[in-house]
Amino acid sequence: MHKSSGLSDASPAALEQLVDWQKGTVSGHIFVDESIYEKEAEQVFLRSWLYLGHESQIMHHGDFISTYMGADSILVVRQRDGTVKGLLNACRHRGMGVCRADSGNASTFVCPFHGWTYDTAGELRSVPLLKSGYEDKLDKSQWGLMPVPRVEIYKGLIFGCFDLDAPSLLEYLGDMAWYLDCLLDRTEGGTEVIGGAHKMRINGNWKLAAEQFAGDNYHTVMTHASVPGAWSDPDKPMPEFVDLMEQFGKQFVSREGHSVAGFTVNTANQLRSGIATFSKDVDIVLEYYRQSRKQVANRLGEERANGPATGAGNVFPNFTYLNMVMGASSIGVVHPHGPNQFDWWRWGIVDKSASKEVKAAMVRCLHTWPLGMADADDGENWGAIQTSIKGPLARKLMFNYQLGMGQEGADDQYPGRVYPGMVSELPQRYFYRRWLEYMTSESWPDINDT
């Protein structure tokens, strides 16, 4: 057993002993300690740009979706002038949530407790007993829903930020924007969300999910062993898939803490030969990717037509995606609720210009992978980890994040730092490097190196 940190506070000095990204070690404390969670809530989630939703979910005035920024409940509402607002879903009278629906269209939000009523911009419009009880002296302009001060959109993805010192969303995304385009900007018209939301509540720490999407391809064969068991040719077992990942893929990290693992070849053909038996729906979607490749190359260039965002990715801290894996593409978000619980939400995403047939096939693909088979596997791991590291002894263990250490470098073709295969823990090391900067700095953590 490694030496105990013996620390229970969340001071910068204590945290620096718990996370050493250069050595590749991370303490169990950061996943279970209440004091560390409380500090994350303030210093990570009140400072970062956080994913709020996709524009296609709120096309018309009054359309809204309910989400979270960290543990704060947020309404994302399309305004009359076409802009998007984020509003804290907490009535200014006693804090009641003024909207309890997941999504919909509303002209007003009426608080179900005493009836204060807000418009779609969050302005307080009416209050029961305004004349007799408040003698008409209540200044309604002072009691609107608290707005999210910054909302910006990157190619359909809506993000919000509470920190006025944070850089613009584009600057925050840094090198990652180039990779996100492989998901968001493949064809004219961009993307849309399809199907409903897939939601799971996991009794684990939010970072377990975020760091996995940041770059854990190491788990794929073991954790998801049942998937190829259902699909593959017994003569072509899963290890060949890992060979494909190592041979034809890379991992990319940005200094801002974002990352993606992607194939750098035309994956449709490689995957087709790697696993023999696909469903008809996977074939329909892969055929769409094959046919649209030239269009994507014209738009984004040859490198980006060959992946390289085909796989899992994470925008720090908690926006995740899984692109073109087994025919499905999805975006997701991890909402923390204390150190020991998080919500795990995911939606299908598709090129708006794709045919109805391709969109329908992709929804069916999503039901199999990842929503049907893979998410349950991953959720089981995250919950089981929390159970085993919650104990006073296990939480003192240092965990090993050293896979593929020191093998990254620059690559002329690709922005950021690049690992020359798809299976390393470089993305997790960069995730915790950035996490530590947020957790140990007193204000927005500037990046002054590479």
Report the nearest approach of ligand FES to the CB of residue 314 (Å): 36
Rg (CA), the chain: 23
The verdict on 111 binding ligand FES (CB under 6 A) reads yes
Q: Based on DSSP, count helices (H) and strands (E) in the chain, helices before strands.
A: 15, 22
Identity of the residue, 93 or 290, whose beta carbon is nearer to ligand FES in the bound complex: 93
93 lines the binding site for ligand FES (CB under 6 A): yes
Piece of the chain touching ligand FES by CB under 6 A; list 89-97, 134-142, 317-325, 427-435? 89-97
- The rounded distance, in Å, linking the Cα atoms of 258 and 281 is 31
Q: Which does 256 bind (CB under 5 to 8 A by kind): Fe ion, ligand FES, none?
A: none
Neighbour-count burial for 117-151, b at 16+ CB within 10 Å, e otherwise: bbbbbbebeebeeeeeeeeeebebeeebbeebebb
Angle at 144 between CA 143 and CA 149, to 5 degrees: 125
Check if the beta carbon of residue 87 is closer than 8 Å to that of residue 74.
yes
Contact with ligand FES (CB under 6 A): which of 116, 162, 288, 345? 116
Nearer to ligand FES, 93 or 337 (CB): 93
Strand 150-154 relative to strand 157-161: parallel, antiparallel, unpaired?
A: antiparallel
Per CB under 5 A, does 378 bind Fe ion?
Answer: yes
Is residue 115 involved in binding ligand FES (CB under 6 A)?
A: yes
Residue 113 in contact with ligand FES, rule: CB under 6 A: yes
Based on the shown chain and the rule CB under 6 A, indicate whether residue 134 belongs to the binding site for ligand FES: no
How long, in residues, is the chain? 450
Is residue 96 a contact point for ligand FES (CB under 6 A)? yes
* Region near Fe ion per CB under 5 A, out of 35-43, 231-239, 296-304, 372-380: 372-380
115, interface contact from ligand FES, Fe ion, none, CB < 5-8 Å by kind: ligand FES
Q: How many residues bind Fe ion (CB under 5 A)?
A: 1
Mode of pairing for the β-strands spanning 108-110 and 103-105:
unpaired
Whether residue 420 is preceded by a cis peptide bond, meaning omega within 30 degrees of 0, is no
Within 10 angstroms of residue 202's Cβ, the number of other Cβ atoms is 23
| Closer Cβ to ligand FES, 92 or 250, answer by number | 92
Q: What residues line the site for ligand FES (CB under 6 A)? A: 91, 93-94, 96, 111, 113-116
Q: What residues line the site for Fe ion (CB under 5 A)? A: 378
